Chains A and B, each alone.
Chain A
Amino acid sequence: MNTTTADSDVAKQLALSKIWNNREARSVILQILTMAILIGFFAFIITNAISNLAAVGKTFSYDFLSQPASYDINQSLIAYTSRDTHFKAGLVGLINTGLVAISGIVLATILGFLLGVLRLSPNYLLNRISYCFIEFTRNVPILLHILLIHGIIVHSLPRPKLASVEWNLADLFYLSNRGVFTPRPIPDDLLWISGVALALGIGFTIWFRKYAKRIQDSTGKIYPVFLISIAAIIGLPVLVFFVTGSPVTWDIPEFKRFNFQGGMVLLPEFMALWLALSLYTAAFIAEIVRAGILSVSHGQWEAACALGIRRARILNLVIIPQALRVIIPPLTSQYLNLTKNSSLAIAIGYMDIVATIGGISLMQTGKEMETMIIVIAIYLSISLLISMFMNWYNTRIKLVER
């Protein structure tokens, strides 16, 4: 009796250890365990959340999105009043986030490439200047940049009254601590013709580029593609614009009792955020660009020189295409970082998505959970979109090995 039970125990143990020692079985067990822990964790926090919400008598619902927001927003690209819904307020915030992110990405890329090239320039002085600038900018927190630039704008630039006299460019542009005021174009009826011209110009350019490439591939003849493209995209619409009699009137800012009225304004909050994000990111991009250019081996330069190609063309045809492959992936993550860093807008009161839905709406409705979920979901989708686009671009320019 005893021996049989002992035997079956041993057999059991053996069987168990056999299962454990079996690689596949073990991996299944481990995964089930992980899954169980994960499900348990989520069940735990969700039940907690439900009971906590119930304890303070709150419900989880998104009904507040359709109720009037009741607050005003100082920068909005779409029509918005305090009577619009929280949803619309959030949309205004999202557009503001997009605005500062896109303009930041554009400026950061231009500045970053410029700095990166200067950093490699044989000119000692420029080289050192850009080195100092890059190192200082990227070793100081982005939040500090934002606050510093905002502080300089608000504390050091003149107030509107003084600005209307002293910081005035041709009575059209003003720089004050309430922002940069510029004339605002109001389109007239005939402007559509210029729009059509622009579309035609772009269409022509796309066709012409393909055509020029085909000719070059088959005959080796090179057209001045860049100049012709510029002429088509910028020259044609401008020409049409003037021929149709400049169909735009300008709303010019004018100093009234408190502030400039009319025209367009770049608010100090926008400028501070935009400049800070651009400068900070540009410093990182500059290093990426430098590394990218250095990664192209010197032999490529020499080989191209030996073929007798001009310097500008070597850069264009040999160096930049190869450097771009190294530059693009880290560049993507810089763009992502810039977009994420734009959430620091809240520190100076720029009305982005975090300040509208995740800030004032959260406060006025008390819906912490719902609003934060919206904000997080939006940032996640932006991140996914940017990285998807960049992946697509990466595969497009990937080295095709023959």
Chain B
Amino acid sequence: MAASKTPLYEASTQFKNWRYSAQSLAKVRSSLNAAAVSVIRNTFELDEPGSSSAVSFLAPDEELLLVRLYVSKIPQLCGFFRFPEEVEATAVSYLKRFYLKNTVMDWHPKNVMLTALFLATKTTNNPISLEAYTNNIPKTSPSDVLDLEFLVAQSLGFEFAVWHAHRALWGIWLDLQTVPNAPPDRATSQSEVYDTALRYVRASRLSDAELIYTPSQIALASLSMASPELATEWAESKFPSGSQGLSALQATVAAIRTLIAAAEQPVDVESVRGVDLRLKLCKNPEKVVGSKAYLAKKAEEERKAEEKRTRKVIEVEKAMAEGDPFGDELAGRLDDDDDDD
């Protein structure tokens, strides 16, 4: 640890490990996609030479589209289970982070979404029993959720704590009361502004905003979309007007506003359905139980384990044949305690 102390947010794993720029996000996604495509292509070729040329693999933006569709399903599920906002936001973060380490072609987002939500209920201290959870979701068994749980946790690097924009928005709304010359009953008289801003925060969850900007910036941008005057008033109370910090903040807020506006457009379900159909053909056969490639991989693992076992047996036999079965290395340690008889 450095001698100087880091501020709380900058010491969080969210800042240290899950902060990207727009370009690095694109790069991560395309490299993940390329790696997955080459691996899956190899598997297809091993299975049946020449078969991979007919398969059209998903592009990075198509993968992202699919993930976005399942991100938008999380609020519906949370509304059904009456989970608090925190669970919803955390699950969304988990799902997005998971697909920065894995690809859709390996793990279908449907099950990953269920697992991420279940994990979020636990990490935010809103637990629900697995039976109650899966019984209320059609065509889902407990194993669908649990099988992936460790994989998801591992992909998240076991970093479960997430800083959320909705909390920052609440903080801004409270802090607005301390702005000089503020009307005392602002929180109640203008509550529709807060509700609108909260809607924008929810919309921002469909975008990549939380992977690029800090929660407080996203909250401020949402507020500025609901009421630009209030947002400016608050921002100016935090930074001296005309300062460099204020202008940088305004530029950031403008960038987030475009992201949120783009995220507000509903996902075109038809195009996603097309992507999903193609995914059925191009997903990694090694991860589909019962397929030839899956069996081949299992056999390969079995063979390796068998090899290891035989090697060990040979080693032991060799040790038995050469010299003392009890080993010679004890000679130095034996002493006068052993001459009783």
Q: Check if A and B associate.
A: no
Q: Report B's interface with A, CB cutoff 8 A.
A: none
Q: Which residues of A contact B (CB under 8 A)?
A: none
